[in-house]
Structure 1
């Protein structure tokens, strides 16, 4: 559900405390993420996010294990939002992806 107004979007984010900046800083500090991109897909209300996360902690982990690591790291934040989609890469995978683009 997207916010009907900018004021409503700001209110929802301030009530939940979940912002792209908050998610980014948490992932950077707890997962040693070297690159984090957070996209708010909810139209500004802060209830649906997609994230690209690059961390050396993803090495030798399956996609499911990576998602579980991220979800455990953001357990409280994910509980406060409607939808969360992480895309997880190791630094080496991220460099290859950027080079092929």
Structure 2
């Protein structure tokens, strides 16, 4: 399975009802894949970081075995508001 940043963006937006998703392909070569995502969703409200990452990992359960490195930043809309101003 070949994974793309666009595929990750669409799946995370749809499945986690995200209001903002950034996915960057940081793959250094064609032998390994590396992605960095920023995800803003109301589904993260009241959840600690480990649970937020668990939601993302569950959403991408099919894709993660094909990704060598995966970095994620998960924010609530309230946490995203000041970040967006930067």
Report the TM-score, using the length of structure 2 for normalisation. 0.91
* Structure 1 unaligned spans of 5+: 1-15
SS in 2 for 1:24: helix
Return the match for 1:73 from 34, 59, 69. 59
Q: Which has the larger radius of gyration?
A: 1
How many pairs does the alignment contain? 85
* Structure 2 unaligned spans of 5+: none
- Flag the structure with more relative contact order, 1 or 2, with Cα contacts below 8 A and sequence separation at least 6: 2
* 1:44 to partner: Cα distance: 5.9
* 1:43 to partner: Cα distance: 3.0
Q: Tell me the alpha carbon deviations over residues 40-86 of structure 1, each in whole angstroms, 9 at most, x when there is no partner.
A: 11136471001000000000000111001100110110111111111
The root-mean-square deviation of aligned C-alpha atoms, in Å, is 1.3
* 1:17 to partner: Cα distance: 2.7
Q: Which one has a larger percent helix, Structure 1 or Structure 2?
A: 1
SS in 2 for 1:50: strand
Report the TM-score, using the length of structure 1 for normalisation. 0.78
The question of 1:33 aligning with 2:21 is answered: no
CA distance in 2, matches of 1:67, 1:78: 12
Counterpart in 2 of 1:86? 72
